[in-house]
Structure 1
């Protein structure tokens, strides 16, 4: 290894001091910060909130200080349907209800993985991976499908937000403390040679504690409830004695088996028109695993446009922090001129960013519109879940070029797949390692 010599640093300092452009930039960036100094007007001009396809969706929701974007995005796609079908205004489904069951199921999923890896040393990569983050707020489309099928959904009035769902840091801190402590208990039992029956019995006791912890922190999920509302015509409605599953069937009625996850991951280890799953990625034990169909970007965007043109919004996952102006609600490659500001080339290809840890899916939102010019998409309307104080009352604009580079997943109906893609979807998926970038949780 070669050290940095003092003479070398002195040379760099003198070169910087002699460069008047660098010193002028220093004044601007030190005072205003990197992003504000590099912000462009061009991106704002090119990405106005006008779209040839623009769905009616109602007000934007707010996940607040939690990582529930994937959950909000999925529930928002259902909310759009309910608003239009039943003439509702400012209606939301309960994110807290789904949050409760996700934490409950993720705890059991963690326990089962700890039991399955009990023969491995603590410093094995899989055990270390499990213990690094026993559970978190994020998730994947197939994981939310598992929750909806098992637990249904409820209106927000049936299980409102709690302090710990709106700001989940304390809950996650203590839930992960408990799960790591429980991992000690379960691994010790197995090391001592106790029977599988004894281990499962102890696990059930630990799950009771998890349920109690969640009920105290989030409230008790309703078994039966009444749905009472006035529609936009001021007509009163009352539906009594509903269960979460019967509410889903009656008011949402979406056949979740008709939707699939399509990804764009242009790396050498993931050929297009093949399916993939990720080891140890899930929440509901016993349900179907996460599954993706990898396609090229042209196909990816075509599928999204088809669903939007049919009047249905699209759940999608992206790396929202890349070249994204939160205040103005613009995601565009030219939102900031960072390369020009520093005279440094930060450019990497999409595949390189995935392979070298520079990018992965970090956030899920909903596509609610697209601008199609001469048959080609040019920009996309995005419903976020950060409230109405960002973007245009919570809505963002995503340039088509930004979508190419930083969008990784969409969820669309299988009916839009051609025969070749449908055949590819039916194939057995390749299993990816738990730490693969396609295992990222939004």
Structure 2
């Protein structure tokens, strides 16, 4: 009798290891195939000495693009998020500052991005810890728990999260809470916050057996530490401030002492609660005309859930075009790094001809890119212009928050082909929607899991 193990024969249809492994014969065949085409050697010589984007850049597209558009709103300087992931805040505040500057009688005005960042971080820490409490009966390697622990307090966000912050905490001018080293470079601060929150998650999960009151007592201690870290890195958000300014005609004005809520009420000139988030999610599992939400997505616990309405891309384009032509910039989220030339400040869906360089096809469409983790929303910006030809958009002008050094002093140009492939969401007025889509907003949303790509945060 043989001890230790028994022999089990392989099924007759089991794959042979020779079919699973790379063999010398295969490698030789690939090498011969590569060497047989002179174009491969030419590309090898070029790409080993020059960046592949320089080689693949389609000159025909570059020379066909200029930065002029038929409808142009911006007459102000761009902002700069620097080494932070606050694009969604910057885009939202850039939208609001247009009306504020007009009311103040100044050309350039900025709300404090640092103020919004402070409150987002503190609220998001609370939101994360509440999600930990809600899932504390699950294993730590549960997929939802692992997703929460993977990124407990990133810089990124979505439109509804921005609206929630303004509604609860108001706004202040940049002079009332200016930038700090850490607001412009959030990495070191975020590392401390992530460590505190993951440690807090461990403690909250351990305290689950003692009940929710014990968990919330520990949560309060964690939030006290988070408050200290934020105040050390970013300063203390003002509860009130003296607001006075000099307009473009050098006339002096003073509003006196005011609170952030009062300041927002006075200088936010658009009705934020009337805006809705339209997305383009072409996956078969995401029917158009339905609302969606994502588990554990948000920053303020008591705020309305992050809800978006799935619509056809042509509708997103039309409503965006109509808003810009009507004089109003549009907040949007996209996959910014795809088919982008930073030094030129342009996007086009076919800007780089990688197929010609590699002699390989890249054929995933937008739905397949979402399904196979090739794309998701990564950045938010502001549409400030559109070039309309025969009633349809041909190209778009975009206010980025990456400073003045690139593009047209920080304003980028997007060909309409890129909008269709890489724009995911826009914020528009509900009154602009077709009646059937407006009615759909009143239906209960389909709930997507926490890790769904449509829950990605723009940063």
- For normalisation by structure 1, the TM-score amounts to 0.97
* Aligned partner of 2:293 among 268, 277, 288: 277
Cα distance per residue 1:404-430 (max 9 Å; x no partner): 000000000111012111111221111
2: distance between equivalents of 1:57 and 1:171? Answer: 34
Contact 1:42/1:334, CA 8 A, preserved across alignment: no
2: distance between equivalents of 1:377 and 1:141? Answer: 24
> Any idea what SS the aligned residue of 1:165 has?
helix
User: What residue in structure 1 maps to residue 90 of structure 2?
Assistant: 72
User: What residue in structure 1 maps to residue 246 of structure 2?
Assistant: 230
User: What residue in structure 1 maps to residue 50 of structure 2?
Assistant: 32
Q: Identify the range of structure 1 (215-224 vs 2-11) with the bigger mean alpha-carbon deviation.
A: 2-11
* Aligned partner of 1:99 among 112, 117, 139: 117
Cα distance per residue 1:147-189 (max 9 Å; x no partner): 1011011111100101111001111111101100011111111
Contact 1:371/1:380, CA 8 A, preserved across alignment: yes
* Aligned partner of 1:116 among 134, 139, 161: 134
CA apart distance, 1:57: 4.2
Superposition RMSD on alpha carbons, in Å?
1.2
User: What residue in structure 1 maps to residue 272 of structure 2?
Assistant: 256
CA apart distance, 1:300: 1.1
CA apart distance, 1:22: 1.1
- 1:399 equivalent in alignment to 2:415: yes
1: distance between equivalents of 2:234 and 2:59? Answer: 44
CA apart distance, 1:197: 2.0
* Aligned partner of 1:170 among 188, 210, 222: 188
2: distance between equivalents of 1:333 and 1:301? Answer: 15
2: distance between equivalents of 1:386 and 1:136? Answer: 19
> Any idea what SS the aligned residue of 1:198 has?
helix
Cα distance per residue 1:276-313 (max 9 Å; x no partner): 11110001001100011111111111111111122110
Contact 2:355/2:361, CA 8 A, preserved across alignment: yes
Q: How many residues align?
A: 440
2: distance between equivalents of 1:3 and 1:57? Answer: 61
Contact 1:60/1:383, CA 8 A, preserved across alignment: yes
CA apart distance, 1:341: 1.2
Structure 2: gaps of 5 or more residues: 1-16
User: What residue in structure 1 maps to residue 72 of structure 2?
Assistant: 54
1: distance between equivalents of 2:181 and 2:201? Answer: 28
- 1:11 equivalent in alignment to 2:32: no
- 1:367 equivalent in alignment to 2:383: yes
2: distance between equivalents of 1:83 and 1:210? Answer: 34
2: distance between equivalents of 1:160 and 1:122? Answer: 40
User: What residue in structure 2 maps to residue 23 of structure 1?
Assistant: 41
Contact 1:57/1:368, CA 8 A, preserved across alignment: no
Cα distance per residue 1:17-74 (max 9 Å; x no partner): 2322111111111111111111122222332111111102410100000100001000
2: distance between equivalents of 1:154 and 1:77? Answer: 15
CA apart distance, 1:352: 0.7
* Aligned partner of 2:364 among 336, 345, 348: 348
> Any idea what SS the aligned residue of 1:157 has?
helix
> Any idea what SS the aligned residue of 2:331 has?
strand
User: What residue in structure 1 maps to residue 203 of structure 2?
Assistant: 185
Cα distance per residue 1:109-144 (max 9 Å; x no partner): 111011011100111111111111111000011111
CA apart distance, 1:8: 1.5
Contact 1:58/1:83, CA 8 A, preserved across alignment: no
2: distance between equivalents of 1:381 and 1:294? Answer: 24
User: What residue in structure 1 maps to residue 3 of structure 2?
Assistant: none
Contact 2:112/2:174, CA 8 A, preserved across alignment: yes
Contact 2:61/2:351, CA 8 A, preserved across alignment: yes
- For normalisation by structure 2, the TM-score amounts to 0.94
User: What residue in structure 2 maps to residue 148 of structure 1?
Assistant: 166
> Any idea what SS the aligned residue of 2:176 has?
coil
Contact 1:64/1:386, CA 8 A, preserved across alignment: yes
User: What residue in structure 1 maps to residue 4 of structure 2?
Assistant: none
Contact 1:70/1:140, CA 8 A, preserved across alignment: yes
- 1:325 equivalent in alignment to 2:354: no
Q: Identify if the C-alpha distance between structure 1 residues 283 and 8 changes in structure 2 by more than 3 Å, giving closer, same or farther.
A: same
2: distance between equivalents of 1:19 and 1:349? Answer: 29
User: What residue in structure 2 maps to residue 293 of structure 1?
Assistant: 309
Contact 2:74/2:385, CA 8 A, preserved across alignment: no
Contact 1:267/1:355, CA 8 A, preserved across alignment: yes
CA apart distance, 1:108: 0.4
